[in-house]
Each structure stands twice: as structure tokens, then as C-alpha cells.
Amino acid sequence: MHEYSVVSELVASLLPQLDSYPGKVITVYLKKGEMRILSDWALKNAFEIIAQGTRLDEASLEIEEVEARIRCPECGYTGKAEYLDDPAFHFVIPVLTCPRCGAEVDVLSGRELYIDRVSIESPEPSQNGT
Ligand SMILES: [Zn+2]
């Protein structure tokens, strides 16, 4: 499954970064662009499997959607890619044209996929100040 390899890569690159932060990992926040055709359910499911036996074992994965925004080089339209709102689409089909003039547009956001931040429980409060 595509989601599995995606999460596997994200976790593999995250783990070394956590080395300098002791404490239990509570939540991993994933930023996911609207244009990414990935199932939240499958991502979370993959995370659970991949996290086993790592420091992320008991952590939960929170997925935060990033709104798709486009910019038209022809007419200057900047904004949300409106066709994405159509509830008839089960999956987003990125037709990258300007809703105002039909020109091809640049995508400003909506293709993100990265771990934004991680919440970690502070280690036991054993430090007694000064
Ligand atoms: Zn335009």
C-alpha cells in the first residue's frame, strides 16, 4: 500500500531527530496537502504498525490538512482551488486550471506531506531548580 511506504519513510527520518529529546512521544502531527491522494485511515493504520517497537509505539498520529492554493500567472488569481470542494469527488483530482480564466496555474500549497511537529511528555520533573 502506498500509505505504508510513505509513513515508513517519514518515521525513519523522524526517529533520529528525536534522539536528543528524552520523554515519551505523545502525538506526531502530520501535515498533509489536500492534493495528496492518501487515505487518513490508511496512514494512521500504517503508523500504528510501523511505530511498534520504536519510541513512537504509544504515540498517535494526527493528520492536519493543508488547504490547496493556486496562483494564476495569466490573470493573477490567487486562492483556493475551488474544484476541490466538490463533494462528488471521492478523491481529489487535481485539474490545475484557473477558475477565472482557465489558464494553467502554479500550485502554492496542497502538496505537502511532512511531519510538522511532535509532542513529547517532559521527563519526570526530578530537577529541583537551582
Ligand atoms: Zn487566471
Determine the pLDDT at residue 33: 93
Could you tell me which residues are beta bridge partners of residue 115?
Answer: 30
Determine the pLDDT at residue 60: 97
Q: How far is CA 17 from CA 21, 30, 43, 73, 124, in A?
A: 8, 15, 21, 39, 21
Determine the pLDDT at residue 101: 92
Determine the pLDDT at residue 81: 79
- The x, y and z cell numbers of residue 17, run together, are 531527530
50's enclosing H/E stretch is helix 40-51
Determine the pLDDT at residue 80: 85
Determine the pLDDT at residue 91: 57
CA 64 to centroid of ligand 1, rounded, Å: 28
CA 17 to centroid of ligand 1, rounded, Å: 42
CA distance 45 to 120: 21
CA 71 to centroid of ligand 1, rounded, Å: 8
CA 124 to centroid of ligand 1, rounded, Å: 56
Determine the pLDDT at residue 130: 55
CA distance 64 to 62: 6
CA 104 to centroid of ligand 1, rounded, Å: 8
CA 120 to centroid of ligand 1, rounded, Å: 44
Determine the pLDDT at residue 119: 97
CA 38 to centroid of ligand 1, rounded, Å: 28
Determine the pLDDT at residue 34: 87
Q: Which CATH architecture does the domain made up of 2-120 adopt?
A: 2-Layer Sandwich (3.30)
Determine the pLDDT at residue 82: 67
Residues of the chain with pLDDT under 50: none
Domain ranges of the chain: 2-120
Q: What pLDDT, in 10s, does the model give residues 20-32? A: 998 999 999 999 9
CA 98 to centroid of ligand 1, rounded, Å: 5
